[in-house]
Amino acid sequence: MNILNQLTWSSLKLNRKRTIVTIIGILLSAAMICATVSITTSFQDLFIERAKETDGNFHATFYEVEQEKSKYLTANTYTETAMFSRDLGFARFELSTVDHRPYFFIKEYDSTAMGHMPIKLTAGRYPEKSGEILLSEEILDYGGEEYQVGQTIALDLGERSGPQGEPLPESTPWSEEEQFFSTETQVYTITGLIARPHFENFSSIPGFTAVTYLDTNTLGATEKVNVSILGKKPRQIYDRVPEMAAGAGDPDYAYNNELLRYLGLSENDRAMAMIHSVAAIVILLIAVGSVTVIYNAFAISVSERKKQFGLLASSGATPGQIRRTVFFEGAILGLIGIPLGLLAGFGGIGLTLSVVNRLMSGSMFNEEMALRLVISPYIIPITVAVVALIIFISAYIPAKRAAAISPIEAIRLSEDIRIRGKNVKTSRLTRWLFGVEGELAMKNLKRNRRRYRTTVFSLFISIVLFVSFSSFINFALLGGGLYYQEAPFDFSIMAHGVPPEEHKKMYEQISALEEVERCTMYREIVTTSWLEEAKYSPILLKNFTEESNVSKDGAGNYECYLHLVALGEKEFKFYTSENGIDAADFQDTTNFKGILANKSVSPEVMAEFKPLKIKAGEKLTLEGLAAGREERDIPKFIMEVGAVTENLPLGYSSTGIWSADIIVSDEVFETVRSMIHNEDDYPYTSLEFYLITSGGAGLEEQLNTICKSYTDERIYVLDVAAAQQEMRRTTLAISIFLYGFIILITLIGVTNIFNTISTNVALRRREFAMLKSVGLTPKGFNKIINYESIFYGLKALLYGLPVSILISLGMYNSFGNFFHFTFFLPWKEILICVAGVFVIVFITMLHASSRMKRENIIEALKEETL
């Protein structure tokens, strides 16, 4: 080591505290960059894994290639892995309980394809030879209960054809007119079950998937198969696949776009580009934060070694040599900080992911879809390069400054020479407000504006990042609907396509379940009524006029949507007695009477209000909306408002937005329905159940079974309690990521503040000693330190808070219509931030000055002036 570097080394050791804090700064910045890159690659990995699961693990497929020509593809130098598959076609599924899906759709995969195609084994094993088959689990749910793994089944394979005898393509939905001709019967042994594959899109394919083994050895030379490949260099896929197709007799080919897009290779999809640009912005933020810290550290170090540099220069060190010593200092700090940062980054992110995965398991992503830590080989070089660049940028200006120091300036040594009277002028008000200690504090801050500014700037950056990020989290969580309202029920069922005459039976069957304590059968008919302006609440009217999303007739009446709602007999009685109303008053099926549930929620002010000004006894003229049948004439009818209440029945957390409900008895409901709906409408009548239950593990299953026996259409049984819990976990997991990021970036700021303030105090050792020698008491000393802290904090907050509020507002506006709530500030976080700023500054000041307080005055005075 040459003499200059030796000097640098010893000065690093001498200022051990600052060296350590700077290394921590570098460490944090390396750790965060490494973590950001890891998170990005981990998410990319998650998306890739998901794409493999939904669309398969291959890059491209050539269709209908003759077996002899397929060798050109499989043996191609570009091909990494090749697999064969074939669609065998339909077979009759006699037992199917689903009218429009009366077939099996049989696919053949060779052994490689079994592992690469998007099928997921849930029981048993993959077929290993001809005559073995996998069935989709759904087959067992819809009629195939008797099938078991190990069982042998005979399938009638054949062709579907249309009414004119034309063959039907496989994707054609089933129709009553089609016919099926069986061509052969094959016997298969069931070796396992698979989950419903993603490609079996919901109702259009009229068959349930079954997968059997494709023995490529038995294929004839001209038999056609599909060949899917994984390419050696995925990046070249778009060039090589057309070439390969040309060589293999021009088959059709297609890319696995879902997978390629997450590999970042898709030609016109920007999904990965977006993820990468978000990562780039985050890294940029980290870089800005880090540069301020590290720059500051070098600036301090250079100004402290100013005399040394001057002496060196006077004894003949060239500016280049001096510049290099500063960079040498950077290199040493980087060599220590970066590896530690990488370790901390990987450790931290691994830990975070494991916590997040535990929270998320069995929720948004299913269990196999966990985010796993992917350490890509690029992470280390990327991190090292970025952090090295950060250090270089930070050291550049201090190095130049060090090299430019003239010997005489350095030896005369005084920054103080630069002080001008007006620079340190303070107003009389300062002395009046804070006393001479406050004035001294203020003058001190003003003396070294550059250093003062760096400290304030680093505080400022931390404040802005913290507050605007908090706003972002709040907006995103609220906007994403992750703040679930507490629903008063724990199960909800939405069933479609249950014929009205069976509603009651279904209701009774559900209510009869042991675990069900209360059960609302919620049915509604949407009606409208033209009401004069005076009947509406001001909030509603304001919305009508501002948003003009309501019809108005010639007489100045607005159209009001009123939902007629039936609850089921038992719940209706419960509801009426709850509200002190006699249920018997509402049974008359000639003179309709209903209860107005007059409560609505405004999405804009997030507050409940009474939408209508209607009293009990008023009569409303209602008219039904034709559900999907526009042409029909719909009779109008009179509904008397028998009672008005603001209580909502079980099954609501709130009513619809901008509308009100009229609760009627089941008898009235049935009468109105038969009056305004005709038979064809019944699939459009909604049927919902809301339950309060005593829980129980098998309940969801039982409910599903009941529902399936009434309809083969979609049914949503939602375990509300579980869903809420899941939402809370997801929110927590997201918050961990985001707040983790904030904390780290704040820590970078803290190291900066720590470095600046403690150096600042240390440099003034002699001054403090002098003040003490003319009689400054320990209390006075504390006062000066406290005032300085307050001034730092105030100044930073003065700039930081308005800027962060502006940024929050900007964020709110840029998301535009996405948010359905009015702008609000994250007050809690702002308070935390204000408190945090002062705590950090005070602790640092206290720490920095604690040694000085006990120090011997004379020792300090003897020290050389800096």
Partner 1 sequence: MEILRVENLSKIYGSGATKVKAVEDVSFSVNRGEFVAVVGASGSGKSTLLHMIGGVDRPTSGRVLIEGTDIYNLNETKLAIFRRRQVGLIYQFYNLLPILNVEENITLPLLLDQKKVEKDFLNELLATLNMTGRINHLPNELSGGEQQRVSIGRALINRPALVLADEPTGNLDSKNSEEIVDLLKLSNRRYHQTLIMITHAHEIALQADRIITLADGQIIKDEVI
Minimum separation from the CB atom of position 727 to partner 1 (A): 58
Stretch near partner 1 under the rule CB under 8 A, chosen from 1-9, 194-202, 443-451, 459-467: 443-451
Q: How many CB atoms lie within 10 A of CB 439?
A: 21
Burial class (CB in 10 A: 0-12, 13-18, 19+), 193: buried
Number of Cβ atoms within 10 Å of the Cβ of 37: 24
| 630 vs 864 by CB, closer to partner 1 | 864
The verdict on 773 binding partner 1 (CB under 8 A) reads yes
The single residue among 101, 307, 593, 772 that binds partner 1, judged by CB under 8 A, is 772
- Using the Cα atoms of residue 467, residue 470, residue 472 and residue 475 in order, give the sign of their dihedral: negative
Residue of the chain from 2, 151, 314, 414 that contacts partner 1 (CB under 8 A) = 414
Taken in order 261, 264, 268, 272, the sign of the CA dihedral is: positive
Sole window of 143-151, 341-349, 411-419, 463-471 interacting with partner 1 (rule: CB under 8 A): 411-419
Q: Which candidate, 214, 223, 227, 219, places its Cα nearest to that of 78?
A: 227
Q: Which is nearer to partner 1, 694 or 865 (CB)?
A: 865
Q: How far is the CB of 843 from partner 1 (least distance, A)?
A: 23
* Closest by Cα among 60, 90, 57, 92 to 76: 60
Please name the helix (run of DSSP H) or strand (run of DSSP E) that holds residue 335, with its range, or none: helix 319-360
Smallest Cα–Cα separation from 686: which of 527, 525, 571, 564? 525
Regarding 429 and contact with partner 1 (CB under 8 A), the answer is: no
Return the range that interacts with partner 1 (CB under 8 A); candidates 150-158, 484-492, 678-686, 851-859: 851-859
Number of residues that bind partner 1 (CB under 8 A): 32
| Residue 410 within binding range of partner 1, rule CB under 8 A | no
Contact 689, 567 (CB under 8 A): no
Q: What minimum distance in Å lies between the beta carbon of 435 and partner 1? A: 7
User: Any contact of residue 762 with partner 1 (CB under 8 A)?
Assistant: no
For the bound state, the minimum distance from the C-beta of residue 863 to partner 1, rounded and expressed in Å, comes to 11
165 sits near partner 1 (criterion: CB under 8 A): no
Indicate whether 428 belongs to the interface with partner 1 (CB under 8 A). Answer: no
Provide, rounded to whole angstroms, the least separation between the CB of residue 348 and partner 1: 44
Pick the binder of partner 1 from 92, 100, 198, 447 (CB under 8 A).
Answer: 447
Taking the least distance from each CB to partner 1, the nearer of 401 and 772 is 772
The residue within the footprint of partner 1, chosen from 211, 405, 440, 465 (CB under 8 A), is: 440
424 binds partner 1 (CB under 8 A): yes
Residue from 335, 436, 512, 605 binding partner 1 (CB under 8 A): 436
Any idea what DSSP says for residue 185?
E
Question: For residues 350 and 780, which CB has a smaller minimum distance to partner 1 in the complex?
Answer: 780
- Tokens describing residue 833: 């931030």
Shortest CB 14 distance to partner 1, Å: 22
Distances (CA, A) of 729 to 360, 474, 484, 488: 7, 16, 12, 20
> Which tokens sit at 86?
């074939």
- Tell me the window of 194-202, 309-317, 418-426, 670-678 that interacts with partner 1 (CB under 8 A): 418-426
Amino acid at position 573, single letter? K
| 490 half-sphere exposure, CB direction, 13 A CA radius | 14
The verdict on 75 binding partner 1 (CB under 8 A) reads no
Query: In whole angstroms, what is the distance from residue 411 CA to residue 306 CA?
Result: 8
Q: How many residues does the chain have?
A: 866
Q: Which amino acid is at 582?
A: D
Candidates 163-171, 211-219, 771-779, 827-835; binding stretch for partner 1 (CB under 8 A) = 771-779
Residue 857 binding partner 1, by CB under 8 A = yes
| DSSP secondary structure of 546-567 | HH--S-B-TTSPEEEEEEEEE-
DSSP symbols for 407-427: HHHHHHT-GGGG--GGGG---
Q: Which of 779, 816, 817, 827 binds partner 1 (CB under 8 A)?
A: 779
- Tell me whether residue 822 or residue 865 sits nearer to partner 1 (CB atom): 865
Query: DSSP 3-state assignment of 568?
Result: coil
453 contributes a contact to partner 1 by CB under 8 A: no
Classify 251 as helix, strand or coil: coil
Nearer to partner 1, 238 or 781 (CB): 781
Q: Which tokens belong to 442?
A: 């203020």
Q: Which of 539, 722, 809, 861 binds partner 1 (CB under 8 A)?
A: 861
444, 470, 543, 844: which one binds partner 1 (CB under 8 A):
444
Residue where the block lists tokens 């500014």: 453
Is 856 a residue that touches partner 1 (CB under 8 A)?
Answer: yes
Cα–Cα distance for residue pair 461/288, rounded to 1 Å:
9
Asked whether the beta carbons of 768 and 852 are under 8 A apart, the reply is yes
Q: How far are the Cα atoms of 169, 207, 328, 488, 679 from residue 161, in angstroms, in the given order?
A: 9, 14, 81, 52, 32
**In this chain, which of 154, 429, 555, 858 binds partner 1, going by CB under 8 A?**
858
Q: How far is the CB of 398 from partner 1 (least distance, A)?
A: 23
- Give the interface with partner 1 as residue ranges (CB under 8 A): 414, 416-417, 419-421, 424, 435-436, 440, 443-444, 446-447, 766-767, 770-780, 856-858, 861, 865
